[in-house]
Amino acid sequence: MPYAFALTVILALVAALQIALAAGAPWGRLAWGGSHVVLPTRLRIGSLVAVLIYTVIVVIAFTRLGALQVLPQGAAVVAMWIVFGYFALGIVLNAVSRSKPERLVMTPTTVVLTVLSLLIALGAGSLVTAA
């Protein structure tokens, strides 16, 4: 279960960044392509939606590993592979960002999230014996 806890901690930190961005913090160079210092309204809303997505991802991860029973196990396995794909795509999107701060901070963060989600999708540390 350590992978799910690590995923949760990192997503909580990224969620804190997104909440700060939604509140008007001048850290927009770290997200959404980095073209704004302070995010416009539509991207602030996107930041809040991202926080909800991160919450769902944590629930999926713990369900996949058998710590929660929110979804059927088969659905949690499929959902966790989708999460892995989401983060893998995020590596590419962050790596090609025009914003140097986003490339330097968010690309490695997303790499770690991708590796953790892969391990969870594979069932590493699972409490369930069959997926």
User: What is the rounded distance in angstroms from the CA atom of residue 107 to the CA atom of residue 94?
Assistant: 5
User: What is the rounded distance in angstroms from the CA atom of residue 112 to the CA atom of residue 110?
Assistant: 5
Give this prediction's pTM: 0.89
Q: Is the per-residue pLDDT at 131 higher than 90?
A: no
Distance of CA 52 to the CA centre of its chain: 10
Q: Is the per-residue pLDDT at 129 higher than 70?
A: no
Percent of the chain residues topping a pLDDT of 90: 85
User: What is the rounded distance in angstroms from the CA atom of residue 62 to the CA atom of residue 68?
Assistant: 6
**Per-residue pLDDT tens for 68-90?**
898 898 999 999 999 999 999 99
